[in-house]
Amino acid sequence: MMTSVGSTGCAEYDAPPSARLVGAEQGMLAGEVTDDLVVAFSEPIDPSSLRLKIIAAAPGINLDAENRLQDELPGTSGELETLMQFDPGSASGAAFTLNEDATRLRISQIEDGAKLGIAKPYMVLIESGLADLNGNATRPRGRLPFIYRSFKPGPTTLPSGAYYFLMVVDPPPLHQQLQLYTHIEVDQANGRFRAKFVDADRTPELNGREGCPSDCSGLANACRLYPAAECVKPSTEQADINNWRDFKPYSKLPDGYVFETEGFAADAGDGTINLGTEPFQIDITIGAGGVNIIVEDVVFTAQMAPDPADPTRLRGTGSVSVTAVKINGVGDQPTKGTLEMMTLTAAEEAEVVSFGNPYPVATPFTD
């Protein structure tokens, strides 16, 4: 709707309604997965214009590697895999309740509907055409991504011991992959854990290992043993978490760093284990006297389960939320990321120690 303003002849644009998820911070929801989802609109909407669905939103599940929705790609057809859906004539997977002034939609999971879980990316899709009471309607499809990060802690079977983490964060303008050897100390009765992380770097110092090509010489090349033995640049990112053997722990700046955090875990009852952390900070220096990155208020939420190929090993994936990223002291931009993790055996931990630096050890529980 266009309305004139005074005698200037100028017009004021009346924007269509926007939407947000109540309680979401950087896409993270602190509530439990059984809590209602609430979508808040910036103004009263025309209920007949609301069409909404909730989808799983991981690459390969409704999204491609560039976060494009599968049903929007050129040359594709078909429906998204939908967990919950609402339109004016029907609803499925949940109960949907619009309040009296049409500014909030409450989404309540039902027993025979789709179940959501922690550490898994989802998205509320609001189809184009959402209109206010004056008929101003949206054109693009609205996206509200979200991840549950909280649950009731303990008890848990999460084991104390050695782990390996592969974490990716994207603070603009830098993309940063963190390889991390980790020791987690767990109080299984109540689900509390303490974790100590140490930087792991690909290094030519390990080129003399059995199976490494003989031409991986000097500082320009480093040996990569997985998935096949070859020489790569030391800065080459880790493409597969199973490639942990090429990384040596470094604890001291500027070559490495250490950080610690506390968290909580709980068995989910379906063979999986939920875990999440309290906020912590990472201090990274890239190169001697080079770029310093401080990642503030990092929180991760993840889910682990036995490896189908080796039930004695746990593997997991999760999501990372960051309040602010400072590059050489400048910046306050929040960001998000992803992580993978796996348990290491005692023999594998000993192999890491044989690289020449100690494995991190978290503070044990004594209370």
- What's the rounded Cα separation, in Å, for the pair 191 and 265? 5
- Indicate the fold that domain 161-203+238-353 takes in CATH: Porin (2.40.160)
Confidence at residue 367, expressed as pLDDT on a 0 to 100 scale:
59
Return per-residue pLDDT of the chain as tens, 367 residues. 333 444 455 567 789 999 999 988 767 787 778 889 999 999 999 999 999 999 988 777 888 767 788 888 877 766 788 999 999 989 999 999 999 999 999 999 876 555 787 777 899 999 999 999 999 999 999 999 888 877 778 899 999 999 999 998 875 556 778 999 999 999 999 999 999 999 999 989 999 888 999 888 777 889 999 888 999 999 898 989 999 999 999 988 777 889 999 989 999 878 899 998 888 888 777 666 677 777 777 888 899 999 999 999 999 998 888 877 777 776 676 777 889 999 999 999 999 999 999 999 998 887 5
How buried is residue 300: exposed, middle or buried, by Cβ count under 10 Å (0-12/13-18/19+)? Answer: buried
User: What CA–CA distance (Å, rounded) separates 179 from 340?
Assistant: 10
**What's the CATH fold of domain 15-148?**
Immunoglobulin-like (2.60.40)
52 vs 141: CA distance, rounded Å: 10
Across the strands, what pairs with 165?
180, 341
- Check residue 149 and give its pLDDT: 73
Which of these, 40, 259, 33, 293, lies nearest to 176 by C-alpha position?
293
Residues of the chain with CATH 2.40.160: 161-203+238-353
pLDDT at 284: 74
The span from the CA of 48 to the CA of 69, in Å, is 25
In the chain, CATH 2.60.40.1220 sits at 15-148
pTM: 0.72
Q: What is the pLDDT of residue 6?
A: 45
Nearest to 294, CA basis, from 321, 333, 327: 327
Quick one: pLDDT at residue 179? Answer: 95
